[in-house]
Amino acid sequence: MTIKLICLDADDTLWHNMRHFNAAEESLFTMLRPFAEADIARDRLARCEERNLKLYGYGAKGFTLSMIETALEVGGDRLPPQLIRDILHAGRQLLAHPVELLGDIQQTLESLAQRGRLALVTKGDLLHQESKLAASGLGDLFATIEIVSDKKAATFERLFERQGVRPEEAVMAGDSLRSDVLPALEAGAWAAFVPHDLQWSHEHAEEPVGHRRYKRLGSLADLPAWIDEIGLAA
């Protein structure tokens, strides 16, 4: 089977992301220490994010709003306005931090581009993802950029149709089982899980061990070899 379309996640697959969200969270828990233990604040924030997901969607702006809501919840009427100012500042830093590519990404993408068309499939704030892609210098390597509100099987089905490939001619690689691997498999494509040290609990899902079209890779640099393997299979 020949792979024609190679789909890649962006955050924590091409460049660092979670470390910035984690740093913002940690600074929130430090700010809230006069009002609550870090574990309690962490739990409140996770619930708040989950509750707001349907309305805010993914991304740094909704996350900043959830940090503010959590601070109000934890601090009550004693919360000093300066603390909200500091959260807004942390949110702006999340949106403005420099893009740091994961190791060997440029080289890996060039190697992948020799094997098929590249598609970037990412969720989050539209402008923020566009800005990070522009700052990464990787934009020209991609045949198409898909910034989506969520990644479901239908997201991948539509992409394959627009790109004129059958699902079994496409592969998706990313650091989330829930958002990258499972929906791509459900859409009939191949899927590579490239775990990142930092993982958002929301993205957790059961690993589809033993699935014919699934592979866990140690690094994105191993993807070209797997694509070659798929090409050799009947």
Looking at the Cβ atoms of 111 and 131, the one nearer to a copy of itself is: 131
> How is the chain split among helix, strand and coil, in percent rounded to 5?
55, 15, 30
Q: Which of 18, 38, 42, 57 binds a copy of itself (CB under 8 A)?
A: 57
Stretch that binds a copy of itself, among 64-72, 198-206, 208-216, 220-228 (CB under 8 A): 64-72
Stretch that binds a copy of itself, among 11-19, 25-33, 142-150, 194-202 (CB under 8 A): 142-150
Distant-in-sequence, close-in-space partners of 27: CB < 8 Å, separation ≥ 6: 86, 90
Among 14, 27, 53, which Cα is nearest to 137's?
14
Q: Which of 45, 75, 115, 151 binds a copy of itself (CB under 8 A)?
A: 75
The sign one gets for the Cα dihedral 216, 220, 221, 224 is positive
- Does 127 bind a copy of itself (CB under 8 A)? Our answer is yes
Shortest Å distance, C-beta 223 to a copy of itself: 27
Q: What Cα–Cα distance (Å) separates residue 47 from each residue in 52, 125, 187, 201?
A: 9, 21, 30, 11
Applying CB under 8 A, what is the total number of residues that bind a copy of itself?
35
- If residue 106 lies in a helix (H) or strand (E), which one and from where to where? helix 105-113
Stretch that binds a copy of itself, among 8-16, 147-155, 176-184, 223-231 (CB under 8 A): 147-155
Cα(4)–Cα(165) distance, rounded to whole angstroms?
7
Binding residues (CB under 8 A) for a copy of itself: these are 55-58, 61-62, 64-65, 68-69, 72, 75-82, 84-85, 88, 91-92, 95-96, 125-128, 130, 147-150
